[in-house]
Amino acid sequence: MKNEVFNPADWNSAPVEKVPAALSPSVAPSSNPPSKGVVADRGINPSILAVVDAVEASGIDITPTYSEWLAIGFALVAELGEDGRAIFHRLSRFNPEYDYNEADRQYSHCLSDGSREITIASLFHIAQTHGVGIGHKPMPTPASSQNQVEEVEEVEEVRKPVPSKNTSLIGSNALSQSNSVSVGTFSQSIREQLPDILKRIVADAVSDVDADLLILGSLTVFSACLPNVYGVYDRREVFSNLFLYVTASASAGKGRLSLCRHLVAPLHRELREQYRKSMEKYKQEQLQYVLDKKKGEGKEPEEPPFLTLFIPANSTATVVYQTLNQNNGVGLLFETEGDTLANAFNSDLGNYSDGFRKAFHHETISYLRKKDREYVEILKPKFSAILSGTPEQVFNLIPSAENGLFSRFIFYVMPTEIVWHDMFDDSDGPTADELFKEIGRDFYQFHKLLAAQTIRFTLTTDQQHQFNAFFSQTQAEYAALFGNDIIASVRRLGLILFRFAMILTVLRQMDAGTFPLPSGNEAGQRPETVLFCADADFATALAMVKVLLQHTVTVFQALPRRAERRFRQDRRQRTESHMQTFLAALPESFDRPTYLKTASDIGINEKTAERYITDLCRSGQLDHPASGQYAKPSNT
């Protein structure tokens, strides 16, 4: 399915079945959920009834997560008020954990805590996300814009985990539940158009999930090895560096991620060999200095920088910064046990987390060397990180969605697949380690070409339009569905998509065996090559991000819900403000037609006005002396 807001107008041509009297709570016990055709047609938007009919015809649960269930309630409240209650039951009852009384309480909560930000469009979007169709046919997709991306074949969306409806997804247990169900994969839809080096990598994959894992791991390790490749994003110079966190239960297969180390191991060994030789020379010079010092001669040699690509996670923040500084800001943190880094974070929390957040945007990292109290600045860190761990380890590292570190990471949630793979494959081909080592040697040779020039990556004008249209729409959708705390992740996935496309475009240059000639070279400057993103690579990056949005939301929902509570609190405050504005606009005494006209004049719909009047009377801010008559209390 395409990740787009569904246009309610697309439902209007659907046949809408007339339905009988409305369901009354008094006649619907929890043990006997409402059946189809129990909502009266009181002028309800036919598009909404078409959604209900399509859900009932297909039997699809469009409320598998708490956030979606909550958003549907708010959407119906915003559009229908109390009249949406029966529809809420009809849409909720396909969830295995549906309970009438619980759903009824939830809708009452939505009525008393309604959000003007969530509209009926959220219902149409959620229905489309789950593939609901009219007459058992797939839901029609909105017409594509002229600049719509030529996408690879989309993967049918996989059903999401089903949480308990009386709680939001909280803590590692919830994420563990989500690990038992696939959130979605992308590899099967992009394999054929990957650069050759990535095709070789996924050829060793044992499943679509494993292929996803190897693609993400490969792109992340490569991202640490392209310091001469940059692009301009949001009017700032950015490089290819990525942060990846793969979360999975024990024995789910995340250990395969370690194969990706082989892809850049030759570069790491080259740096270590350079350092070894420099240290040998330094020791000889140091010995000579000691001899000359006795004669009052000589100058003390300077210790060579500690050259490495891999940076151990079990290091203090200062050691990591010092290592980055000695490697021109370049480094790769590769740790398959997330708690190793979490322990380091806990012991050095402020500096470590701050450095990660700055490094993601290549912002200056500064620190003070204890040895000689030297103030050091890493002006443009080009730092990448790969972490994997169990769900519990995610929360040790990133305790809440409000933590700025959360939105910097690519999250991939691996399911535990109950499949036994043959452990004694007797094929004559190379082992996985041998295969990845061979690919690593090829990349090492290609890297020598890259090191000789600077490469400026850019999207084409058409790709830029497609990019902006997609994220403008996606940002609005996700904010409506999950609140403002998800926006940072959506926005940074925009930068991640740009970096994906950058790496893919550079890797594709290996396919031809040559590299484009530099566009020009001023005296004393390194040659610069301009690379435009291939359409296939842009489509690949976009397809990946669409699936990774699902994974991000899965982890987001599992994090402690302080953000959700704050979102509701903000909504209540806005509601109170709107209600007081409405009260101030009303005359001292009035009837129903008067308050409805006043509400219309200031942009408040009829159902909301009725709810405001009820709440104002209940709180004593309005008197209700007779049926249809209202008055502001006298001050005397």
Provide CB contacts within 8 A for 618, sequence distance 6+: none
pLDDT, position 519:
56
Residue 163 has pLDDT above 80, yes or no: no
Amino acid at 608: T
- Could you please report the per-residue DSSP string of 2-66? --SPPPGGGGTTS------SPPPGGG--TTSPPPSS-S--SS--HHHHHHHHHHHHHT--S--SH
Question: Which whole number is the average pLDDT over 466-493?
Answer: 88
Domains delineated in the chain: 8-136 (no CATH), 171-239+413-557 (no CATH), 565-631 (1.10.10)
pLDDT in tens, 422-453: 776 666 778 889 999 999 999 999 998 888 88
- Could you please report the per-residue DSSP string of 394-416? HHHH---TTSTTGGGSEEEE---
Q: Which of 597, 598, 605 is nearest to 582 (CA)?
A: 598
Question: Which whole number is the average pLDDT over 101-118?
Answer: 76
pLDDT in tens, 264-275: 999 999 999 999
Least confident of 89-93, 169-173, 268-272: 169-173
**pLDDT band at residue 114 under the 50/70/90 scheme:** low
Residue 549 has pLDDT above 80, yes or no: yes
H or E element: which one contains 524? none
Q: If you average pLDDT over every residue of the chain, what do you get?
A: 78
**pLDDT band at residue 338 under the 50/70/90 scheme:** low
Two tokens, residue 515: 């590299």
pLDDT, position 256:
87
- Could you please report the per-residue DSSP string of 256-301? GGGGGHHHHHHHHHHHHHHHHHHHHHHHHHHHHHHHHHHTT---PP
Cα separation, 349 vs 347, in Å, equals 6
Sort 82 into a burial class: Cβ within 10 Å, 0-12 / 13-18 / 19+: middle
More confident residue, 431 or 41: 431
Residue 112 has pLDDT above 50, yes or no: yes
pLDDT, position 78:
84
Alpha helices in 386-534 (DSSP H): 391-397, 432-450, 461-482, 487-512
Sort 123 into a burial class: Cβ within 10 Å, 0-12 / 13-18 / 19+: buried
Residue 559 phi/psi, 5-degree rounding, is: -75, 155
Q: Which of 405, 419, 509 is nearest to 455 (CA)?
A: 509
Q: Which of 202, 197, 196 is nearest to 215 (CA)?
A: 202
- Tell me the range of 249-263, 320-334, 536-550 where mean pLDDT is highest: 536-550
Least confident of 47-61, 136-150, 573-587: 136-150
395 near 172, Cβ under 8 Å? yes
Amino acid at 209: V
Amino acid at 551: H
Least confident of 16-30, 284-298, 327-341, 608-622: 16-30
Cα separation, 103 vs 252, in Å, equals 35
What share of the chain has pLDDT > 90, as a percent? 36
Cα separation, 147 vs 544, in Å, equals 19
Residue 578, Ramachandran bin (φ over 0: left; ψ between -120 and 50: alpha; else beta) = alpha
